[in-house]
Structure 1
Amino acid sequence: MRQKFLLLLLTLGLWSNLTQTTYAQFGPPGGGPGGPGGFGRQEQLGRKKEEFTGVADDAPKGNGKVSGLLIDSTSGKPVEFATIALINVKTNKPIDGTTSDAKGHFALTKLAPGDYRLQYSFIGYKNLDSKQFTVAKGTDLNMGSVKLPADVRTLGEVVVTGQAAVIEEKVDRLVFNADKDMTAKGGDASDVLKRVPMLSVDLDGNVSLRGSQNIRVLINNKPSTIVAANVADALKQLPADMIKSVEVITSPSAKYDAEGAAGIINIITKKNTLHGLTLNVDAGVGLRASNLGLNGSYRQGKLGITLGGFGRAMYNRASSTLDQTTLVGGQLLRTSQQGTAFDKPVFGQYTLGFDYDLAKDQSLSANVRFGTRNFVQQQTQLTNSYIADSLLSMTNRDVNRKDLSNSVDMNIDYVRTFKPQQEWSISTQYSRTGLTNNFYADLLNNADVLTGRQQNINNNTNQEFTIQTDYQTPIKKNQLLEFGGKAIMRKVDSDYRYLVGRGTGDLANDPTNPAGTLAYNQNIGAGYISYTYVTPSKYTFKVGTRYEYTGISATQSTELRSNAQLNIPSYSNLVPSINVSKNLKAGSTLKAAYNRRIQRPGLQQLNPNPNAANPQMIMVGNPTLSPELTDNFELSLSSTIKKTYLNTSLFGRLTNNAITQIRIPSDTLAGSIITTFQNIGIQRTYGANVFFNTNITPKWSINGGLDGYYQYMQGLTQGADGKSITISNSGVSIGGRLMSQLQLDKGWSAQVFSFFRGPNPQLQGTMGSFYMYSLGVRKDLASKRGSIGLAAENFIGNGVTMRTNLSTPILSQVNVNHLYNSNVKLTFTYRIGKMTFEEQRRKGRSVNNDDVKGGEGGGDGGQQQQAAPAGGGGRPR
């Protein structure tokens, strides 16, 4: 039973040297992490015998001694930092223990007379018991060389009987094990996120959590400046094959940046901690996308190096229709538009990282990540305008859009461990992204004769430097104190201009759209303190507060006005958080949480460039936006009933000064709609989630869920007289998903997945519903060195259609988008090289700036470790 429990903890990611002696102090497996007096992790790095957590303080003493040497049964190398427990054969309970040193030697001294046996244990090796022996007065017994046999189940990934849980729950988050999803192979991160409970991904790849897009997405606990510009495109740079799990953090603790009103999504990529040299090849070919990835790793002694590259090319078609009516000068102007688009995006990312053990209690790690996006789109737009059923104008546009970017993230992390649970770390990161968002349009008449040309040039840079330090220390055996500080220095620059011309000749500056620049500087200073307490009655309390000060200076220039200072005041926020969990009987857990979050505007919302690639739907940012404040409440109950895991939750989200899209008629082009962003006022969201995972047989599992929420919004818009008026809207949105996995004989497996999202209320209307489904099969190659898979998505019919309705006192709009996203793809993976087991190494923490609206992250996640009572939230992510 205890060995099975150890494997379960490994599957949950709690990589610590738990042994039967640990259970003696922290309670039996039924108590689990979060039992009375227990921490969720214990680390065995070079600690002294008196620090060994499983030793009873009142163990009998004498002058006996037992010593020996632990070696790997295959390589013959010493096994360092393994756990040795001294078991009393009469009671079958541990009474003393120690760990092996860097050369594999161990010794137990001051032993009282009695009959004993030793139990040897370490991650990656099978538990081994010695023969019974007797210690008498003055006994000095040498056990010789003890060969520990490797546990092949942990070479690469832990394998337990049946299938690992697809959904796991921790004190402040829900974990989706994405590496069990075969239909996402050959895809990207957005394909994986479609399958994660509480998340939904629309047809454009935008991610929302419980109906809100005000989230922060991290990749291996780190941000990247590129996602501040476009979340959907940034996720396409991360291959699905490299994603191990996705963490949905609905109630972040004070250690997290205060940004992300609805919560945080943390994407954990696969990484190995083995010893040797490997090369992984991932390739895929499909009707809508193809990909190729190469990832290598090398580890020898104290040094580990990783090098990877991934490329993905896509080709999609889409069509749309637009019917809108606007009130112009007391008359109704009706506009209809038919459009087609052909997308040819190419994404890539390249990473280089290393980690080095400076000493047993000190480590240094560094990582460089380069990302690129080349999004090219060809559009055709046929637009007709009518007044009183009389044709006013007809316009035909051929548009070429280019959305290009390159980003680099560099970080260095250092961590010093003083003793188990006590450590200090310092992390630094520099990120820079250059973005180009241009379009070129040819204007044609009804005879397809070129009558004019238009070009928009918009270059942006987004850079930031971050330094943070964190310290944590245990207080007694059931309390943990954490505190730290952080500084972020950001700079955003935007340079834009419009050029126009006739059918021939050079292009000249457009007098109706003056050129301009934006220089936006944001400096953030933050400090936090967090305290975790586990009671004897199995309550876990994690409380904390975070203070953040934000200073902003911004200037905007146009051809008519130079270096105009924008009046954006600095602000400070005190952000409390409370997480409470209670372990009930029969493996159930009850949780309650409250936290306050702030949401700063991102680059898309700030950029003042009027993007008129489609002149009927112009997008322009608002550099004077203020942050929004949200209070989150959550109550959840999870339980395991026989073979079924069930989670239910109720939540509420109260937002003031909410940043929301607003659509208003253009002053310069009749029938045109401008989409911008404003702090509209109020948003109230109340909802519930139900998720389940059940193993019908050891090889057949089904999981799914249903979620719904009610949302009320109130804000300002333009009335018929041109003055601002207050409007409100409310509605209910329901969504769900269902996935089934089946393991077959001879390495075959199959999976089916389906998802739907109902209409979503907005301040000025309703966004339409959408759905998706997929079916996949996979065959593992010999020795599981690779696999071949075939998957199909939305293969019935001709794609997905989404209908959006907008309505205000002066405009109404119906927009229908049709995405031809039927897809069949063939995937192939193979692993070259040989690895042998090596103990998990301590790595530094990493910077994670989870503080920009719509922002997400990138980088290497090898530097995370949880060290909190009762699984209480772990490190900042």
Structure 2
Amino acid sequence: MIYGLKPIALLSFLVFLSVCSYGQEIRLHGKVVDANDKTALEFANVALLNPSDSSLVTGGMTDINGGFDFNASEGQYIFRVGFIGFLEFFESVNLGDKKNFNFGTISLAPDAQNLDEVVVEGVTSMFESDIDKRTYNVENSIVAEGATASQLLSTLPSIQVDEEGGITMRGSGNILIYINGRPSNLSGDDAESILSQFPANSIKSVELITNPSSRYDATGVGGIINIVLKKNENLGFNGQVNASIGTREKYQAGINLNYGTEKANFYASYNWQNRWQRENGFGNRSTSLPDFSPTLEQVQDGYEKEKTNLIRAGVDYSVTENSTLGVYFQGNFDDEVEYAQIDQDNLSLTGSLDSSFVRINNELSKSSNYEGGINYTWNVDTLGQKLYTSFSYAYDDRSQVEFYDQEFFTSEGASDPSKMLTQINDRPRTSTLFVAQLDYEKPIGKNGSIETGLKSTLGNWLWSQQFSQGDESNQFVPTPVDTLTDSYDFTQNVYAAYFTFKNKAGKFGYQLGLRGELTDQLGETVRKNESIPDNYFNLFPSTFFSYTLAPENELTLNYTRRISRPRIWDLAPIYRVRDQYNLSIGNPYLKPEFTDSYEFGYMKGWERYLLNATVYHRFSTDVETRITTLTDDNVAIQSRENADTRASTGFELINQIQISNNFDATLTGNFFYSKINASNVEGRDLSNENFSWTLSLLGNILVPKWFSVQVQGNYRGPIILPQGQIEPQATLTVGMRKDLFNNKATISLNVSDIFNTRKFKITTEDPRFTQYREFQRESRIGTLSFTYRFGGFKEKGAERSRREGGDDMGDDF
């Protein structure tokens, strides 16, 4: 590990070197922000007026960071800052004979009076685009009411969620999932089972970061999805309650409370889910293995019943005018019952029945996840210099027991008791996750800024399994099976440091960044008494360039390098028994996958139309992929291997159209070519390539004074695998919403997957077998939801706009 300390020391030196001051040469400059949440206000109007008649002398507009910079002659002026929907700020100034003036930060307060007097009905856009991410304000999502976080993600453009829990963005997997900007250690067999523990009504927004810069974790070659949970920050006591009921026993309820003062904001929420969901599947496998029927046909029918309780509470306290201390706690509790009946028929060449099995699966699981954290933000000055630090700790505990009863039937349908099986699989799991980080931001010169920081992510996962089987030899009393019983203890610690510099010269902007990450991990097995260490240090550069052709008309070019570290369920060398014909196992020797990502984009905005086009290319090495091997005993074993390379080249086009004040639509198309080279795996040439595409439409229609309608549809083309492909899929969801009681309440109705087409289908081809499999969780669901909001909703600092810091030049009005 010593070899990695020098690069870390170098990056740490850059971190502390960055606090040095730099000279500034400006004329009139400052920054305009929202007084409530301190976000920058782009396109705010900044002007100097003639005191005698209030005529305009000179001025300008704020940039994307809320900054302004312009020249003016000596004299007496009225300084005015304005923005639609906010109270204007005025100040009498005397420029005198000074050459440089700093107005500091101008905080504009929302004009609540005007908003009350003038009510403009129109659709509310869900989509916002920024230089490094896209944000979907899912509070406005009608089609996701009453759904889970996983189901919510599947409604968003660029994202696909398959029925096995796999999440892809722009056709690429290995997505990093954040909850409130932090990784999560919630337990589950896949991302879908983890995300299902969060109801969609607890989510405020979803951020898609397709090509993250060096300030983000380098993990996640396909990008980052950050799920932001709701947290109100209004003054006084206020909140909301919500409840929903769905077809076939799906219930959800929640409450969000907030109490805000000028010094502190207290918030708490509770969300409850009780969902019953059907599951069914079908599979067909053909083989030429001797002594076995050439065709195996499987039909699965079952259900999952899940109860979740999500509790969140916290406080943000203003220690001083410029610093805030935050403390939070979160508890997530999950209780699941799963049942499945699997009918397996062995068929002859003519299609007649040779023999069959009937397998009954019952699964009981419970999990508890606790997370707490503290953060501190210090706004060093009014120019944007800021220090942020946070610490969080999470503990997860999961118990899971699976019970299997299997019967054998002859071709005549007679039961053979000698081939009966009774199995019990006990799979307890625990994990801990500690995250500590320190971030520093400082403006440099007129348009520049630096960001730098340190971060440690320390995780441990302990997965165990005791598999027992009862048959005729032990009087059907389940006895532990050594080859299927094991424990895997995995520790992974990642230490990171980063530095970015951002600047703008005229129409040209750029951001350069470098991140270093030292990974120290160890996997240990009990049965074979193996210790598998892996330590490595990597640098991850990032570059972002932009050129403004005109207002709302911009070209962008960027490059990043990223990593995908294998996850615990990919590594654990423990056999998971689906049935006697299908097993899966992790690979503790998996190597990390590295990706170089390139993007070239063009953005053009008109009054009612926004065009965002991106050409991208990704090249990955040591690609983690699933491989299925058929043994001589006709058992299919799915494992993970590192394929040599994968290349993806594509074109994404986002069209956001404001057809009228009452109708908008976002149409997203992604067209890409993928090629995977897996000729290195098991001495077989498993390379594959194809052209595919995804299409997504999100439309919002408002019927004034009545209700609003939302329509969401998407299509995903085939996704290639070394041994076949995941087949295409299409869905359509429709919802409607109406506000009640002077907009204090909302009632909504939606139907997801109207045509019941959301099925996961996969085709696998191998010299030893051909397999087709499909699986579907219940997706055509009708949901009725109700939300009621209460309290004053008085905004912080709404009394007046104000100026903080900067030079003393006069009196504000």
Give TM-score, length-normalised by structure 1: 0.78
1:121 Cα offset (Å): 6.7
Instruction: Flag the structure with more relative contact order, 1 or 2, with Cα contacts below 8 A and sequence separation at least 6.
Output: 1
1:480 correspondence with 2:445: no
AA partner of residue 738 (structure 2): K
Residues 176-215 of structure 1 aligned to structure 2 (within 5 Å): 176-215=136-175
What CA distance in whole angstroms lies between the structure 2 residues aligned with 1:806 and 1:19? 54
Secondary structure, in 3 states, of the residue corresponding to 1:625? coil
Q: Which residue of 2 aligns with 1:414?
A: 376
TM superposition shift of 1:339: 1.4
CA contact (8 A) 2:731 2:754 kept: no
* CA offsets 1:103-153 (integer angstroms, 9 cap, x no match): xxxxxxxxxxxxxxxxx9732236xxxxxxxxxxxxxxxxxxxxxx57559
Change (3 A) 1:163 1:10: farther
Q: CA 1:29–1:514 in 2, change beyond 3 Å: closer, same or farther?
A: farther
Q: How does 1:552-591 map to 2 (within 5 A)?
A: 552-558=521-527, 561=528, 563-566=529-532, 568-585=533-550, 587-591=552-556
Going from structure 1 to structure 2, the CA distance change for 1:738 and 1:290 (only over 3 Å counts) comes to same
Q: Aligned-pair distance for 1:98?
A: 7.6
Once the two structures are superposed, residues 356-410 of structure 1 have per-residue CA deviations (whole angstroms, 9 ceiling, x without a partner) of 1111122110111111232322111111235666866421100012344221121
Deviation at residue 11 of structure 1 after TM alignment = 13
| Structure 1 residue 838, shift from structure 2 partner | 0.9
Structure 1 residue 756 corresponds to structure 2 residue 708? no
List per-residue Cα deviations over 1:284-342 (Å, max 9, x = no partner).
01114221111111112312111111112222223222111245469774322111121
Q: Secondary structure at the match of 1:612?
A: strand
Inter-partner Cα distance in structure 1 for 2:369 and 2:590 = 25
Find out whether 1:597 has 2:562 as its counterpart. yes
Q: Show the counterpart of 1:248.
A: 208
- Residues 604 and 153 (structure 1 numbering): CA distance in 2 closer, same or farther, change over 3 Å? farther
User: Residue 280 of structure 1 aligns with which residue?
Assistant: 240
1:41-440 alignment to 2 at 5 Å?
Answer: 41=66, 60=75, 84-86=90-92, 122-125=108-111, 151-152=115-116, 162-226=122-186, 230-288=190-248, 289-328=250-289, 333-386=294-347, 393-419=355-381, 420-440=383-403
Deviation (angstroms), 1:206: 3.0
Q: CA deviation at 1:508?
A: 3.8
Q: Which residue of structure 2 aligns with residue 453 of structure 1? A: 422
Change (3 A) 1:121 1:161: farther
Give SS of 1:604's match.
Answer: helix
Q: 1:544 aligns with which of 510, 513, 516?
A: 513
Q: Which runs of 5+ in 1 are unaligned?
A: 1-7, 35-39, 43-52, 67-78, 100-119, 127-148, 841-877
Task: State the SS of the aligned residue for 1:214.
Answer: coil
Give, in whole Å, the separation in 1 of the partners of 2:62 and 2:580.
Answer: 60
Q: Which letter maps to 2:407?
A: L
Does residue 661 (structure 1) correspond to residue 619 (structure 2)? The answer is: no
The partner residue of 2:489 within 495, 500, 519 is 519
The separation in 2 between residues aligned to 1:766 and 1:814, in whole angstroms, is: 10
Instruction: Name 1:116's counterpart in structure 2.
Output: none
Q: 1:533 to 1:749 in 2, by over 3 A?
A: same
Query: Counterpart of 1:15?
Result: 39
| CA distance in 1 between partners of 2:768 and 2:653 (Å) | 40
Find the counterpart in structure 2 of residue 49 from structure 1: none
The 1:209/1:13 distance shift into structure 2, 3 A limit, reads: farther
- Out of 668, 673, 688, the residue aligned to residue 729 of structure 1 is 688
Letter in 2 for 1:828: F
- 2:216 is paired with a residue whose SS is coil
Q: Deviations over 1:226-261 (max 9, x none)?
A: 168531122222222333322211121111111010
Corresponding residue number in structure 1 for 2:435: 466
1:586 deviation in Å? 5.1
Q: Give 1:528 shift.
A: 0.8
Within 2, Cα distance between the matches of 1:530 and 1:821? 44
In the other structure, the counterpart of 2:740 is 781
- Cα 1:95–1:677 change in 2 (3 A) is closer
The 5 A counterparts of 1:639-654 are 639-654=604-619
The Cα of 1:209 is off from its aligned counterpart by 0.5
Q: Which amino acid aligns with 1:775?
A: V
Structure 2 contact 135–206 (Cα < 8 Å) conserved? yes
Q: Distance in 2 between matches of 1:253 and 1:361?
A: 27
Which of 665, 684, 705 is matched with 1:702 structurally? 665
Match of 2:574 in 1: 609
In 2, distance between residues paired with 1:10 and 1:195?
31
Q: Structure 2: how far apart are the matches of 1:626 and 1:745? A: 57
Q: 1:24 to 1:754 in 2, by over 3 A?
A: farther
CA gap 1:385/1:631 in 2 versus in 1, 3 angstroms? same
Distance 2:132 2:686 in 1: 36
Q: What is the TM-score normalised by the length of structure 2?
A: 0.84
Q: 1:476 to 1:628 in 2, by over 3 A?
A: same
Describe the shift of the 1:509–1:646 C-alpha distance in structure 2 as closer, same or farther (beyond 3 A): same
Kindly provide the CA deviation profile for residues 658-689 of structure 1, in whole angstroms up to 9, marking residues without a partner as x.
1111111246xx22211111112211111111
Aligned to 2:146, what secondary structure does the other structure show?
coil
Report deviation, 1:428.
0.7
CA positional deviation for 1:564: 2.0
Change (3 A) 1:9 1:715: farther
Alignment partner for residue 491 of structure 1, among 436, 450, 460? 460
Match of 2:335, SS state, is strand
Amino acid paired to 1:417: N
In structure 1, what residue type is equivalent to 2:605? T
SS at structure 2 position matched to 1:680: strand
Q: Distance in 2 between matches of 1:263 and 1:243?
A: 20
Distance (Å, rounded) in 2 between the aligned partners of 1:251 and 1:413? 26
In the TM superposition, residue 502 of structure 1 has moved relative to its aligned partner by 3.7
Specify the alignment match of 1:509 in structure 2: 479
Please list the CA deviations of residues 171-223 of structure 1 after superposition, one character each: whole Å capped at 9, or x if unmatched: 11122232222121111222332232221222344321011221112122122
Counterparts of 1:704 and 1:726, CA distance in 2: 38
Q: Distance between the aligned counterparts of 1:638 and 1:9, measured in 2?
A: 24
**2:768 paired with 1:806:** no
* C-alpha contact 2:591 2:642 (8 A) present in aligned 1: yes
How far apart in 1 are the matches of 2:716 and 2:257? 39
**Alignment deviations for residues 733-792 of structure 1 (CA, whole Å, 9 cap, x no partner):** 222112221112224211222111122211110111222112222110122111111112
1:679-706 C-alpha deviation (Å, 9 max, x unpaired) = 1221111111111111111111122121
How big is the shift at 1:819?
Answer: 4.7
C-alpha displacement at 1:576, in angstroms? 0.3
Counterpart secondary structure, 2:186 = helix
Q: Distance in 2 between matches of 1:215 and 1:315?
A: 28
Q: Contact (CA 8 Å) 1:124, 1:150: kept in 2 or not?
A: no
Aligned pairs for 1:826-841 (under 5 A) are: 826-839=784-797
Contact preservation (8 Å) 2:121, 2:704: no
CA contact (8 A) 1:86 1:96 kept: no
1:33 and 2:33 aligned:
no
| Paired residue type of 1:309 | Y
* Secondary structure at the counterpart of residue 261 of structure 1: coil
In structure 2, relative to structure 1, the CA distance for the partners of 1:322 and 1:12 (3 Å cut) is farther
Q: Secondary structure at the match of 2:742?
A: helix
Matched, 1:618 2:556: no
**Aligned sequence identity (%):** 24
SS of corresponding position for 1:191: helix
Alpha carbons of structure 1 residues 206 and 347: separation in structure 2 relative to 1, 3 Å: farther
1:496-552 deviations in Å (ceiling 9; x for gaps) = 11111148967443436342111112221111110001112x222011000111112
**Aligned position for 2:753:** 794
Q: Is the 8 A contact 1:22 1:54 kept in 2?
A: no
